[in-house]
Structure 1
Amino acid sequence: MRKTRNRPVVFMLVSLLILLAMACSNPKQDNEGQVESKWAGLSDNELLDTIQYQTFQYFWDAAEPNSGMARERIHMDGVYPQNDQDVITLGGSGFGVMAILVGIERGYITREQALTRYQTIVGFLATADRFHGAWPHWLEGKTGKVKPFSKKDDGGDLVETAFMIQGLLTVAEYFKDGNAEEKQLVADINQLWKEVEWDWYTQGEEVLYWHWSPNYGWEMNFPVGGYNECLIMYVLAASSPTHPIEPAVYHKGWAKDGKIAEDTIYYGMSSVLNFYEHNDDPTGPLFWAHYSYLGLNPKGLVDQYADYWKLNQNHALMHYEYALDNPKGFDGYGENQWGLTSSYSMRGYAGHHPGDADLGVISPTAALSSFPYTPQESMQFLRYLYTEADSLIGPYGPYDAYSHSSNWYLPRYLAIDQGPIPVMIENYRSGLPWDLFMKNEDIRNGLKKLGFSSPEMN
């Protein structure tokens, strides 16, 4: 049985630091317009404690109460254009169940408190709308009924389901040697895992499809292939003990018969895989380096197409070098402000990345969730936020996005952007989420089946 590190002393110290900081006077401007720091005296570790605690709270205190899951968005200004403040997100909640593990390990909550919350979440998921075992992108938190993401996107979303399953399997590894209640939780999670019909989402072809609707069938017509954020979906599909895909689905569908490995040189670094499949520029939004790797450990992970550590580290460093170069001349870009990913913007939600898609918007999750790959560069950004721009920090950590060039930000959050922050920082600090997920025997078997090797599989 894994020993639990409930650390109330650590929790009290972190809470005290945050309360002291928030009790300070409002941000003041110096002659150059810089914000005076509320957190200037904190060490690097204390800053990491602070941001992990705040972002964890998005998934704990701010969770939708009936389901225990993460709200799609939290707008501190109270403006919800779609009146969707109680809509919950499957992918963001998958990140959130991993953030709750961080809360246990860092002493923010007890193991028993987490167990109760997980029982609520898993019980809700067992009765919520599913479509051949896959949940939709959004659910109504009060009822468990599907909330259409768009007109035809009112059924199963296999990618969002994969993000949830990644999180649940990590939780199951944490509790599998526990007491009777904890073992029952693990059994309930494994039942949900076994019920996802991954192979059905191929339509009998050698590729996985993202969506299926009971009203519109396969009309969304989104085969998932070429590199993006969806590697974990293929790994889980190959690993399923009940509805697995054949290796050809990975190699022909995802890897495009090897074309996925046609790399590009950008800022002197190899892209490792082909980002052009989905972009006009030779790199992508940084969430591609995060979502599949909250549990799937890229350190030493290799298959015939890529070294996944090099892939993700280069991806993050390309964003850093792009900010230093700042070819569009946006205000603020540089060693302390970097990282582009999909987030809010002055034009609504947008897919930011270097090149034509760059609107001058920095999304804090991009650099902060890259801590394992770029610890020095990510720490520079974290310290900038908390010591020079703390008006951009709210109760659940940094707000979603900002632009100095457009003099724009909103006090708003998105679950899919807050969720990777505490989890990837924990992977940097202790490796706990990676260690847990990579211990799962189904996952090990699936990775071997697809031709992966990893030090954690030996």
Structure 2
Amino acid sequence: MIRFSLLLLSFAFLSCGSKETDKKEKEENKISVEKLSDEQLLDVVQKQTFKYFWDYAEPNSGLARERYHPDGNYPENDAHIVTTGGSGFGLMAIVSGMSRGYISKEDGVKRLDKIADFLAKADRFHGAWSHWIDGNTGKVKPFGTKDNGGDLVETSFLVSGMITVREYLKDGSTSEKAVAQKFDALWKGVDWQWFTNGKNVLYWHWSPNYAWQMNFPLEGYNECLITYIMAASSPNHSIDAKAYHEGWARGGAIVSSNTKYNLPLILKHNGAAEFGGPLFWAHYSYVGLDPNQLTDKYANYWDLNVNQVKIDYQYCVENPNKFKGYGADFWGLTASYSRNPDGSDGYDAHMPSNDKGVISPTAGVSSIVYTPKESIALMRNLYENHKELTWGAAGFYDAVSLEHNWSAKKYLAIDQGPEVVMIENYRSGLLWKLFMNAPEVKQGLQKLGFKSGKYEIQ
């Protein structure tokens, strides 16, 4: 049985032989179950989802499993495969868990120390980690045939978590400072400059066997903004600002004049020009990077993200495909598990231009910083009205469809992580404050031409 913080009122129902009048009287006089307040609901969701990174972490490394299947039925025996990017979100989740008292600070520091030691011994490629790592050995688990080396984007998600941990522990006890120093050394070892391959752009992959054959330049706009910011923030291997402006921003061509539902898209969303991309684009770069009052010559990043989320929300309310359940309290399209036509589980990048009747709870939950009213309405609906279908050992399941009375009763680190972190940022702003106040981050943002109305960028 799953334990919930909501105290349910129990009722003694009569046996089959009871009088119909007594049963009717009980129905009429039944006391309503006490509702959770918004703050209680947020805490229930945050605490339960945090278990993904604590109770269900890969045991040898302490890192986040790529996926967690409560039924133990893993494909290709990948229960010990950890995800680099999801583990970055997990580092922030552990900081959140310590600050909330979900775990003791002592236990949190021990886990973080274990993680740092594992990552120090794991395979690295010019300082970057691979997309997947074998949690037992620290060796690369290829994400694809040619994707068996450094993954710069996943590494940037991991590094943003490392910097957050360092900032949280750097002024603590002797043991806390020691762990902070380990993470400081790890992130500073990434050779971001190498991943330009001598050009004014960053490349996603490098392989010891296939070199640059994947040939995937990071050009905006998608989830990779944080990669450029981390690369510009490096004390020892920083990229030139030209890589950002000529590569990521495409010499200014990143700017869009498109609107949807009278909301400007602001930037060109790669492959999703009409509605914007899957909602994780508004989450992954911004778990540490605070978009509030953050601007550069191309965008106001708060408006960019709020508009993308509201477009997704409006689309689900409009529900042009008439999928069951879609509306103001059932919305949110992003990459997640999906339902194949034959009823089996798959994976898809859900978005308005690729709508399969499947919502991903992480889409709306992780958007709480942008659309608190709408996100809480979604959480309340899922938790109070569809709990059996949507709620499990590590929070809301990864994907759900009322159209098909189906849910993927399993989890992905890259989806659970932003839920914990963004709920924390909505409640306290803790992870944003830690990351944004790191001196290297401020320097990197300044180098790329960013300005913030909340933090001094010098």
TM-score by shorter chain over 0.5? yes
Structure 2 unaligned spans of 5+:
13-31, 341-345
C-alpha spacing 1:23/1:246, structure 2 compared with 1 (3 Å): farther
C-alpha separation in 2, matches of 1:114 and 1:338? 34
Among 308, 321, 327, the alignment partner of 1:315 is 308
Among 410, 416, 419, the alignment partner of 2:417 is 419
C-alpha spacing 1:120/1:405, structure 2 compared with 1 (3 Å): same
Percentage of matched positions with identical amino acids: 55
Match of 1:330 in 2: 323
Structure 1 unaligned spans of 5+:
1-14, 26-37
C-alpha separation in 1, matches of 2:348 and 2:3? 37
C-alpha spacing 1:158/1:331, structure 2 compared with 1 (3 Å): same
> SS at 1:402's partner residue?
strand
- Kindly provide the amino acid, as one letter, of the partner of residue 227 in structure 1: Y
Match of 1:31 in 2: none
C-alpha spacing 1:39/1:307, structure 2 compared with 1 (3 Å): farther
Moved more, 16-25 or 413-422: 16-25
C-alpha separation in 1, matches of 2:423 and 2:117? 29
Among 382, 402, 405, the alignment partner of 2:403 is 405
What is the deviation of 1:193? 1.3
Tell me if structure 1 keeps the 8 A contact 2:258–2:273: no
Among 379, 384, 394, the alignment partner of 2:381 is 384
Tell me if structure 2 keeps the 8 A contact 1:71–1:415: yes
Corresponding residue pairs, total: 430
Deviations 1:153-199 (A, max 9, x none): 11000000000000110010011111211111121111111110001
Match of 1:201 in 2: 195
> SS at 1:345's partner residue?
strand
C-alpha separation in 2, matches of 1:158 and 1:415? 18
1:255-270 to structure 2, matched below 5 A, reads 255-270=249-264
What is the deviation of 1:17? 4.7
1:265-344 to structure 2, matched below 5 A, reads 265-275=259-269, 277-279=270-272, 281-344=274-337
Match of 1:64 in 2: 58
Match of 2:439 in 1: 441
| 2:423 corresponds to 1:429 | no
Match of 2:80 in 1: 86
Deviations 1:129-171 (A, max 9, x none): 0000000000000110000011111100000000000011001
C-alpha separation in 2, matches of 1:109 and 1:286? 30
Match of 2:357 in 1: 360
Root-mean-square deviation (CA, aligned residues, Å) is 1.8
Tell me if structure 2 keeps the 8 A contact 1:266–1:282: yes
C-alpha spacing 1:23/1:314, structure 2 compared with 1 (3 Å): farther
Among 118, 122, 135, the alignment partner of 1:128 is 122
What is the deviation of 1:353? 0.4
- Kindly provide the amino acid, as one letter, of the partner of residue 41 in structure 1: K
C-alpha spacing 1:257/1:369, structure 2 compared with 1 (3 Å): same
C-alpha separation in 2, matches of 1:102 and 1:16? 21
C-alpha spacing 1:19/1:270, structure 2 compared with 1 (3 Å): closer
Moved more, 438-447 or 407-416: 407-416
> SS at 1:174's partner residue?
helix
What is the deviation of 1:264? 1.2
Deviations 1:33-53 (A, max 9, x none): xxxxx9862111111110010
Among 234, 238, 260, the alignment partner of 1:244 is 238
Tell me if structure 1 keeps the 8 A contact 2:70–2:393: no
What is the deviation of 1:19? 7.8
C-alpha spacing 1:149/1:393, structure 2 compared with 1 (3 Å): same
Match of 1:451 in 2: 449
Tell me if structure 2 keeps the 8 A contact 1:40–1:386: no
Tell me if structure 2 keeps the 8 A contact 1:343–1:349: yes
C-alpha spacing 1:449/1:22, structure 2 compared with 1 (3 Å): farther
Moved more, 187-196 or 228-237: 187-196
Moved more, 39-48 or 221-230: 39-48
Q: Which has the larger radius of gyration?
A: 2
> SS at 1:139's partner residue?
strand
Match of 2:40 in 1: 46
What is the deviation of 1:77? 2.8
> SS at 1:224's partner residue?
coil
- Kindly provide the amino acid, as one letter, of the partner of residue 286 in structure 2: Y
What is the deviation of 1:222? 0.5
Tell me if structure 2 keeps the 8 A contact 1:40–1:387: no
